[in-house]
Amino acid sequence: MAKIIRSQRASTSSVRSAPKKKAAKAAKPLPKRAAKKPATKAAKKVAKPKPWTAEQVYEAFDRFRKANPEPKGELEHLNPYTLLVAVVLSAQATDAGVNKATRALFAIADTPEKMLELGEDRVRDYIKTIGLYRNKARNVIALSEKLIAEFGSEVPRTRAEIESLPGAGRKTANVVLNMAFGEHTMAVDTHVFRVGNRTGLAPGKTPLEVELGLEKVIPTEFMLHAHHWLILHGRYTCLARNPRCDVCLINDLCRWPEKTV
């Protein structure tokens, strides 16, 4: 027994003494030449991907067009008004989640007048499965009132007018102008933002930067459908976590250093 105690003490003391030696070693300053320098700005610049040429951009959208000549948005709607409401409801929600709620809602309220008649409480009940539904129900009623009071119950056709409606921002205006009125706008949602940055087509820190960058590089003949091609590409191929680079139509053109092909 006594022997065991001695050996435990000996072992404990050797464990205790070890960090002292290490600490002494760690305290010794490194020779200057061994210290690593942080990456310089110049080195980072070298790694910056080359911008796309006009031919490459054309090639990418030509491939999107051949694969899907008439891409469609996935938000269900019956007319410009229900499209506007669906887009307002889709903020921070999935299209599938919005569609689930709006099918029943639009069946009984597909005009601003019918929506007002339904009233905020019942609108809230219809959309309670969607995030931020209380605020959104309030906005749907308020925008319906404004459409009746100021726009003859019609969805206006200018960006400024659409953006003046409660709950509608720049992205809403871009989607409505594009889908309802065929304007060449580029709505930047989370998917388009990711694809614009990853591919190097239109890098930007904000959705507006990416939007303006894409409008600048995409040839006019593709602009009507470009928004949907990029959304669908981000939603089904260039996924946030595990992009499917192996089946990606533009994997040879993409500039993302982390692409898997």
245 binds ligand SF4 (CB under 6 A): yes
Only one residue has tokens 């269900």, namely: 76
- Closest alpha carbon to 135 in 160, 166, 98: 166
Among 77, 171, 198, 225, indicate the residue that binds ligand SF4 (CB under 6 A).
198
Mutual angle of helices 190-199 and 220-236, in 10-degree steps: 100
Catalytic residue among 3, 25, 114, 189: 189
The minimum distance between CB 246 and ligand SF4, in angstroms, equals 8
From 36, 171, 216, 259, active-site residue = 171
Work out which of 60, 105, 176, 250 binds ligand SF4, going by CB under 6 A: 250
Q: How far is CA 229 from the centre of its chain?
A: 14
Question: Which residues in 199-228 contact ligand SF4 (CB under 6 A)?
Answer: 199
Give φ, ψ of 87 to 5 degrees. Answer: -70, -40
From candidates 147, 173, 254, 257, binder to ligand SF4 by CB under 6 A: 254
Q: Residue 36 catalytic? A: no
d(CA 230, CA 68): 12
- Structure token pair of residue 190: 């989370």
Query: Smallest distance from the beta carbon of 56 to ligand SF4, in angstroms?
Result: 13
32-40, 63-71, 158-166, 245-253 -> range binding ligand SF4 (CB under 6 A): 245-253
246 is catalytic: no
Q: Check residue 238 for interaction with ligand SF4 (CB under 6 A).
A: yes
Among 58, 60, 47, 49, which Cα is nearest to 251's? 60
Name the nearest CA neighbour of 84 among 160, 154, 131. Answer: 154
The dihedral built from the CA positions of residue 159, 162, 168 and 172, taken in this order, carries a sign that is negative
Q: For residue 1, how many other CB atoms are within 10 A of its CB?
A: 5
CB of 238 to ligand SF4, least distance (A): 3
- Determine if 237 is a binding residue for ligand SF4 (CB under 6 A): yes
Q: How far is the CB of 100 from ligand SF4 (least distance, A)?
A: 28
d(C-alpha 209, C-alpha 47), whole Å: 21
- Positive or negative: CA dihedral 59, 63, 66, 72: negative
Beta carbon of residue 111, minimum distance to ligand SF4 (angstroms, whole number): 41
Choices 26-34, 123-131, 182-190, 247-255 (CB under 6 A): range interacting with ligand SF4: 247-255
Per DSSP (E only), the strands in the chain are none
DSSP summary character for residue 246: G
**Quick check: 251 binds ligand SF4 (CB under 6 A)?**
yes
Instruction: Tell me the per-residue interface mask from 146 to 175 with ligand SF4, x by CB under 6 A, - otherwise.
Output: ------------------------------
Catalytic residue numbers read 171, 189
Residues forming contacts to ligand SF4 in the complex (CB under 6 A) are 198-199, 237-238, 243-245, 248, 250-251, 254, 256, 259
